[in-house]
Structures are given as structure tokens and as C-alpha cells.
Amino acid sequence: MEMNTKKNDQAILREVALQLCEEIRKEKGVRLFSQCWGCVKFSKNDPAKMCFSGSDYRGCKLVNYRFDQGRST
């Protein structure tokens, strides 16, 4: 699976980014030293501190990929 990491102009709504993040963590699990593990550990599950947070909620490559896949289908 190749992930497109180029910056997309379309922002993701906060609620959508949070939902996608939760889906990804449920599917993949939060394995030790994975991207999700680090995000959850250091943010302490505070969405404002998670990787996806920011002005356009495109800080997490996993959330971005899932969002972009959903739009293209």
C-alpha cells in the first residue's frame, strides 16, 4: 500500500479526522512504537494534541490517506 503524502488543499473537518483516527486505531491496533502508539502516548488521547490536529486537520498521514481514499471512490 503506497501512501500519497503530498499536501492536499482540502481541509478535513475535526469530527471527520477524529472519526477516521478512531477507525484506524481500531483496525490496526496501537502496537508498541507505531505511529499511533506515539500519538496516543504523547497526546494522552487529547484530540487537540494528536497528530491530525492543526488548522486543516491534515497532520496525520494515515488520516489523510483514509480521507483521500474516501473522496476518490
Round the average pLDDT of the chain to a whole number and report it: 87
- Position 5 scores a pLDDT of 47
Supply the Cα-derived Rg of the chain in whole angstroms: 12
What is the C-alpha separation between 39 and 3, in angstroms, rounded? 19
Taking a C-beta distance cutoff of 8 angstroms, is the pair 12, 57 a contact? yes
pTM equals 0.80
- Position 8 scores a pLDDT of 59
Task: Give yes or no for residue 6 having a pLDDT over 90.
Answer: no
- Residue ranges covered by each domain of the chain: 30-72
Least confident residue range of 1-5, 29-33, 56-60, 65-69? 1-5
What is the C-alpha separation between 36 and 70, in angstroms, rounded? 20
- Position 71 scores a pLDDT of 73
* C-alpha separations of 18 from 35, 64, 67, 70 in Å: 15, 11, 11, 15
